[in-house]
Structure 1
Amino acid sequence: MSARSPGFTMKKAVRTSGVAKMAGVHTLRHGFATHLLMKGVDIRRIQDLLGHKSVETTMIYTHVMRTIAPDLRSPLDEL
């Protein structure tokens, strides 16, 4: 199995499913992080799970959450 196989398999599955919007393996990763945030998992734990060196990279997902759920507030907002 090559490093590109998961991406190829994912794109083929999306095409077969008839979903209009293309999605790749990164879409699964992004969804994973977003769901963790929605469940209240600590941003540092998510950073560790995603392998981000900088928490600022992980914080990108909090901006997405503000679009999805504008009333949701992070404890980090108070810092």
Structure 2
Amino acid sequence: ILNMSPEAAVGGGLALLRTGDRIRVDLNARSVNVLIEEGELESRRTHAAFATPPAQTPWQELYRQTVGQLSTGGCL
């Protein structure tokens, strides 16, 4: 699976998801949880290679250089 989100590129939780994984979305609790075993997540984390693909446009490169992760507000 090719996942090009900024969170995935730095090794965040999205990078560990694969096509077909089940997730639980709870709108009231404002949460999303993956429904796979913790051991499987650890295995994926251990064997994962996190790399950012080359920028396709100058604007994409500028965005990558200036915008932070969502956990810190996703701000410039």
> Normalised by the shorter chain, which TM-score bucket?
under 0.3
- Indicate the structure with greater strand content: 2
Relative to the length of structure 1, the TM-score reads 0.24
- Indicate the structure with greater helix content: 1
Rg larger in structure:
1
